[in-house]
Chain A
Amino acid sequence: MIEIKQLYKSFEDKDVLRGINATFEAGQTNLIIGQSGSGKTVLMKCIVGLFEPTSGQILYDGRDFVSMGKKEKALLRREMGMIFQSAALFDSMSVLENVMFPLDMFSSMNLRERKQRALQCLDRVNLSDAGRKYPNEISGGMQKRVAIARAIALNPKYLFCDEPNSGLDPKTSLVIDALIHDITMEYKMTTIINTHDMNSVMGIGDSIIFIKEGLQEWTGDKTQVATSSNQALTDFIFASDLLKKARQAFV
């Protein structure tokens, strides 16, 4: 479980996060949604430690990440996996080497065991045959799946996904969503997903927080999002005419 308490983040004189409070439970997919520029990427970067918050607490199962020393942070990071918007695979390594990388760096397994574990992870994301290929030889959807395989290689307790469906077609997005959801259940991970993909919201939104201008505007889940009376959320979710009509029919 990850808890965020009174999190503030400012860049020079601009307040991007203004007192966020949230709880992300283990074994479910927790979504952070909001318009571009609302502060959701900054929030995620604060949670994973890429940005230092101005004030507030980030508790990983009760351990305050903000006040930790460098060594403790490095150890905690080994319990994290992250899937970036751009997949962020290492260009100079093959798919198999990419998945093996966290194992090479931090596990005490021998080469055979590391390779076996990496192949297991690739098999889990249905990419058993792509091990020898390089990131530039595979499609965007496959790159995302490799990123998932790399993220789960060390059996992380916390999984972070920054717009995992960005640049993917709707069908591939559904595959990625389903994969992240299944893996979350399987490994009992605390998964946080940054997204503005409505299919993800409706499909895997076990818990959703909606951020607007650095403030937590609404919290709920996928069953509540369509019927919410929060105007800002409704305007965001049902931005297109098609969705507006669908909502009217639904309500």
Chain B
Amino acid sequence: MTAILKPIATFGRYLQLMAKVFSRPERVRMYLKQYIREMQQLGLDSIVIVLMISFFIGAVICIQMKVNIQSPWMPRFTTGYTTREILLLEFSSSIMCLILAGKVGSNIASELGTMRVTQQIDALEIMGVNSASFLILPKIMGLVTMIPVLVTFSIAAGFGGAYAISFAGILTPEDLTYGLQHSFKVWFVWSSYIKSFVFAFIIASVSAFYGYTVEGGSVEVGKASTDSVVHCSMLILFADIFLTQILS
């Protein structure tokens, strides 16, 4: 198969899988149980890493803005203002989702891949369960549900990091607060959430596709996990360009 046809064929298989995933659930109660489990596994278990990374990146952005942008010609609130814009518009949605593509994406791909090679998916199929829907739909719904929570925590932790720097004496907390509040547009928060919904769908569905379609053994599961992270990251960056253009 030529280099052009292969991605088209892969996309076709992805669409076929998604058609199976979004079919009517056999037993809603069981899906809800899975959905709650996935919200915990994919969402709640990611909060600590989101908080840590966002706190330190918020602090670093604040320092960089102060050192590189602030000058006698600029208002004193510039550092706070630019820190907020970076966190709201790009970091807490796009960059955070890139990080989650590594953590959550590899988790989904390796879990489903292992289930495939140990015949657990075959067992579901033989019982008459739509395995694609039963395993993947709760993951997609779970991550899409939890992503606004993670984005909110990320924004808050980023601001926390910036305040930690201000209390260290690099700029005054009053200037930072004024900057964070200056020309604030609520739409930027919504656009951050909208972007993160799309990215969450990409992370869960693409990683699930790579995991679910594994053929072989442990080596292939490892490869699927890597492929899922690479492709999720590329697709998130690609989608970010379009979404930023549309939502700006």
Contact = CB atoms under 8 A, between A and B. Distances in A.
A binds B: yes
Indicate the member of B29, B122, B127, B130 with the most A CB atoms within 10 Å: B127
B119 A84 contact: yes
Nearest to B119: A88
B30 A78 contact: no
Contacts of A249: none
Interface stretch (A31-39, A99-107, A219-227): A99-107
Given A88-B118, A104-B27, A82 B128 contact: no
B122 A78 contact: no
Contact of B120 (A77, A80, A88): A88
Contacts of B120: 88-91
Q: Is the interface of A mostly helix, strand, loop or mixed?
A: mixed
A101 B30 CA distance: 9
Q: Across chains A and B, which 10 residue pairs bring their CB atoms closest together, nearest first?
A: A77-B128, A88-B119, A88-B123, A74-B128, A84-B119, A82-B126, A78-B128, A88-B120, A105-B27, A48-B126
Contact of B128 (A88, A91, A92, A106): A106
A80 B27 contact: no
Given A105-B26, A105-B27, A105-B30, A85 B119 contact: yes
Question: What is the interface residue range for chain A against chain B?
Answer: 20 to 34
Contacts of B29: 104
Interface residues of B, number: 18
Interface of B: 26-27, 29-30, 37, 114-115, 118-120, 122-123, 125-130
23 contacts: A49-B125, A49-B126, A50-B122, A77-B125, A77-B126, A77-B127, A77-B128, A84-B119, A84-B123, A85-B119, A86-B119, A88-B118, A89-B120, A90-B123, A91-B114, A91-B115, A91-B120, A101-B127, A104-B27, A104-B30, A105-B27, A105-B129, A160-B126
A73 B129 CA distance: 11
